[in-house]
Every structure is written in structure tokens, then in C-alpha cells.
Amino acid sequence: MTTTNGAAVKFEKVQKSYDGHKLVVKDLNLDIAPGEFLTMLGPSGSGKTTCLMMLAGFEPATHGEIFLNNEPINNVPPHKRGIGMVFQNYALFPHMTVAENLAFPLKIRKIPNADRKAKVKKALDMVELGDFANRRPIQLSGGQQQRVAVARALVFDPDLVLMDEPLGALDKQLREQMQYEIKHIHENLGVTVVYVTHDQSEALTMSDRVAVFEDGIIQQLSGPDKLYENPQNSFVAQFIGENNKLSGTLVSIDGASCRVRLDDGTELLAEAVNIAGIGDKTTISLRPERIEFEPVESTENMVNGTISEVIYHGDHLRVVMDVAGNDEFVVKVRNRGDQRNLEIGEVYSLGWAARDCKALDFVA
């Protein structure tokens, strides 16, 4: 069986069970376009890494078919799939030099020696490690070793590169730097990348699209901006970025908007995204940075909140408040340099637009 939809990777009704009973991946249908950078994002145990391992050939699919460049690969061994791999622990050979590590996958593919040298040089120059060819991995920093691992995955010009939590071992500053470097390499080469992480910031920074996994199912598949701005359910809203949650009951629905009465009697206007019917419970999702602190003009939604904590973050203040029964309600107040002192226990007004307030499936 061969697909004809032009996808670089296709999962078709793929399931995975390790014990024959519980499915860790449930009926996965996913197309990944040629040249796309797709990130599989989710908490531990959500099924994202299992999907990557099935694509790499390290785990067999229990049911369904996986295609690479329109060819079924379920029965193709890993070393014959022509896929580049980058792991969290780098997986470099310690007894080999950097150049020898990069030459290894070329030797396996019986690339002539002269061509090997040229490809190794090109790959090292691409990750700005041309002067490190004769060093061994132990003589490199963590960031340099990760660059070598990326170069080795790309040296044989694969159509597809898989990356499994590749930056997890790096410190915050280096991890952020490597995010941009990998993103730029992808943009320059146009290779298809499937990336696995539990780091939401990493996913939003690097990806063309993000598949958010939970309980073996893709909860939402969107570009980073849509994923953040328009979560389709409460799990995605809570998992992607910081988010305030308020519970209430649907009072009325008017097309794409609705009115929700919170448990304390406060009524809010919200965008109706994933709701049941009038009289049913719903969860309001609201980003901390979309809230106006002490608004100078009235907005569609106005509430009062009592400050319980103020944390200085440099560019903003993270203000924790008690709002409508939620004592962990967070407001990000921009630091303009003239911010007056905010007093614990004081009551302040808050406002936000209805479009920034999403009514989603109810979560207790």
C-alpha cells in the first residue's frame, strides 16, 4: 500500500500497546509535510516519544501503518530507513574524534573516502565546529557535543531527522541558544524534522506546527501562535504557557460568544470555544498578560482582586491575586520603571476583553 498525498511522514490509524491491553498511542492519524518542523509535545507518558520510536523503527506499531516518502516502513529495519537521529545524551563515540564520529554513518553507507571528507567538513562548518574536527567528545562542552550530534544526524543528507529531547541536558541559556541554532539550520537546509519535547517554550520557539499529546491522543495540532492564542480544550490551555482558570455556569450563548456566571456570582463575557449547553459547567481560560491592571477605561469584563504575592521578574511583575474564588489568579504587570508599590492585601480592579477569555470544557 502506498500513499499519494505528498506527505513526508504519515501515521495512518497507528496504535501502540506494550502489554496487549493498554494503548499508549490511540488511533494516531498524522501527516507531516516535506520540510516541516513538527514538534510532538506533551507530559511524560503522553505517547509522544513512543510515536518517535515507532517512526525510527525502534518500536513496532501494534496496529496501523507508518509511511516515509509515500512508502510503508513498518517492516523496514531502522538502519535502512535513512533517518537521522539526535538524542538527549548525544550518543557520540568517546573513542573517536569529532570527524570520525561524523564519518561513521557515511562509512556504514559505503560513501567513498573523498566524499566522506567533504561531507564531514561541510557538516562541521554548518554547526561552526570546523576547527574541532580532531578533538574527542570529552574535550568539548555540552553545547559543542550537541552540535556534533546534530551535524552527525545531517551529514548523510537524510530526508528526515528525528530529535528526542535533544536539549534537555543543557543549561537554560545554552538551551535557548541551541533552539535558535537548530531552527536556523532547519530553515537553511529545508529538511523535515520531527522533534519531541515536554518543554512548551521550546516547542513554540522552533516549530512550524505542534502536536500536543495527552493520554496517547493528539489534543490539538496547530501552529505555535494558534496553539497559544486559541487552545481548543482545557488541557491545552493549561499545558501551553501560564493560564488562569475560572469555573462557572453557561448563562447564555450568542453565536461565537457566551456569558458565564462564576461560582461567586460574577458574570463574564467569553469566546465560546468548547462548550456544552446553557446551564452546564464550563472552564474559563485567560492568559495573565492579557489582563489590564487598574484599567483607565472600563472593559468588557471587570472584576476586583486581592493581592497575595508580588514577584519581581525584571521586565514584569508577577502578581498573584484572589479573584472570584481563585486564590492563584496571576496577572503580569508590565514594568514601566515608574510602577508604584503594590501592597499585599490591597484590592485592585482588573479588566480584559471578551476575546481573550475562552470558554472551554469543564475541569473540576
Q: Report the CATH number at residue 266.
A: 2.40.50.140
Residue 229 shares a structural domain with residue 249: no
Residue 125 shares a structural domain with residue 263: no
- The boundaries of the domain holding residue 58 are 9-234
Q: What is the pLDDT of residue 1?
A: 37
Q: How many beta carbons lie within 10 A of that of residue 67, not counting itself? A: 20
Q: Are strands 267-272 and 357-360 parallel, antiparallel or unpaired?
A: parallel
The CA distance from 153 to 155, in Å, is 6
Residue 225 shares a structural domain with residue 265: no
Residue 230 shares a structural domain with residue 249: no
Q: What is the pLDDT of residue 4?
A: 41
Mean predicted confidence (pLDDT) in 279-294: 95
Where in the chain does DSSP place strands (E)?
Answer: 9-17, 23-32, 37-41, 63-68, 71-72, 83-87, 160-164, 192-197, 209-214, 217-222, 244-254, 257-262, 267-272, 281-286, 292-293, 301-312, 316-323, 326-334, 347-352, 357-360
Residue 289 shares a structural domain with residue 318: yes
Question: CA 351, 354, 358: angle at the middle one, nearest 5?
Answer: 110
The CA distance from 136 to 68, in Å, is 34
Mean predicted confidence (pLDDT) in 44-66: 96
Q: What is the pLDDT of residues 6-43, one digit of tens each?
A: 789 999 999 999 999 999 999 999 999 999 999 999 99
Q: Which of 35-44, 81-90, 314-323 has the lowest mean pLDDT?
A: 81-90
Q: What is the pLDDT of residue 5?
A: 58
Using a 10 angstrom Cβ sphere, with 0-12 exposed, 13-18 middle and 19 or more buried, the burial of residue 145 is buried
Q: What is the pLDDT of residue 85?
A: 93
- Which of 180, 201, 234 is the last residue in one of the domains? 234
* pLDDT band at residue 340 under the 50/70/90 scheme: low
**What percentage of the chain carries pLDDT values higher than 90?**
81
Residue 230 shares a structural domain with residue 260: no
The CA distance from 227 to 236, in Å, is 8
Q: What is the pLDDT of residue 149?
A: 92
Residue 1 lies in a domain: no
Q: Is the pLDDT of residue 2 over 70?
A: no
Whole-number average pLDDT of the chain = 93
Residue 222 shares a structural domain with residue 288: no
- Which of 211, 234, 257 is the last residue in one of the domains? 234
Helix and strand numbers, DSSP H then E, in the chain: 8, 20
Q: Which of 137-141, 162-166, 312-316 has the lowest mean pLDDT?
A: 312-316
Residue 289 shares a structural domain with residue 212: no
Residue 222 shares a structural domain with residue 261: no
233 three-class SS = coil
Number of domains in the chain: 2
Residue 98 shares a structural domain with residue 187: yes
50-64, 116-130, 171-185 — most confident range: 50-64
